Chains A and B, each alone.
Chain A
Amino acid sequence: MIPLFAVIGFRTSRQRTFRLWLPLFLVWVLLLPVVLVLFPFFLVGCLLLDMNAVKTISAGWNVAAGLRGMHVEINDPKTYILLRLV
């Protein structure tokens, strides 16, 4: 399953820490028409590069699904960055 939410955290110059929950599923829905429009070009590209389109889509989907659970957190006296995919 691809990530549905992203948690982004950061610290402001006033040392206040914020965490934002971004609904990625809305982004996926918005991207769907773009993907459909670009799909024929993708197929042509696969033909030109002699790549298996189905395997490529499957691998791309696996990478997107594999991102779920990713957690990157950097905590410095000056900086705080958090990225978590749920």
Chain B
Amino acid sequence: MTENRRQILEMLAAGKITADEAERLMNALYGNGNSDSRPDSSTMAATTKARPKYLRVVVHDESRDKSPTEVNVRIPMQLLRAGVRLASLIPVQAREQVNNALKEQGMQIDLSQIRPENLEELVDQLSELTVDVDDKHSKVRVFCE
């Protein structure tokens, strides 16, 4: 039994979530098919292959001038991971100040809870992410590659 499955079942047993919620969590973890099925090695390999290496931001703006302005930024995912690891080293006093500042802005985030493992999950999900902003004079694309 995987750790995630065990946690879901424990939450269900403790009454923290309903059976429907547990099923949805299982489906989210193991796909919409049979929730009892575990991801096989080929699925895992495909996931690993599809893991994005870069976050790319492309901006094409024609609003200010006749000639367009183009911005092309490529950020390695490894840098994001390293940043999260660096954030975990923030001294406790500074971390509290940052958390308080975030709370004042309405963000209930505890920096001490952000771990590289969480980022790995996020990065895995980012492979499908594409953000397109189309304006009359400008286009912004954010995607992973």
Chain A contact residues, CB within 8 Å of chain B: 49-52, 55-56, 58-60, 62-63, 65-77
Contact = CB atoms under 8 A, between A and B. Distances in A.
B72 interface: yes
Contacts of B89: 51-52, 55-56, 59
B79 A75 contact: no
B110 to A, nearest CB: 19
Where chain B touches its partner, the secondary structure class is: mixed
Interface string B66-82: 11011111111011111
Interface in B76-94: 76, 78-83, 85-86, 88-89, 91-92
A76 B80 CA distance: 28
A74 B82 contact: no
A16 to B, nearest CB: 17
B107 to A, nearest CB: 23
B91 A68 contact: no
Where chain A touches its partner, the secondary structure class is: mixed
B30 interface: no
Nearest to B85: A59
Nearest to A49: B91
Contacts of A69: 53-54, 74, 76, 78
A75 B91 contact: no
30 contacts: A49-B91, A50-B91, A55-B89, A56-B89, A59-B86, A59-B88, A59-B89, A60-B86, A62-B78, A62-B82, A62-B85, A62-B86, A63-B83, A66-B79, A66-B81, A66-B82, A67-B76, A67-B79, A68-B78, A69-B74, A69-B76, A69-B78, A70-B76, A71-B72, A72-B74, A74-B70, A74-B72, A76-B70, A77-B65, A77-B67
A65 B86 CA distance: 13
Interface string B8-46: 000000000000000000000000000000000000000
A71 B74 CA distance: 5
B69 A72 contact: no
- The 3 lowest CB-CB distance pairs between A and B, nearest first, are A66-B79, A62-B82, A71-B74
A60 to B, nearest CB: 8
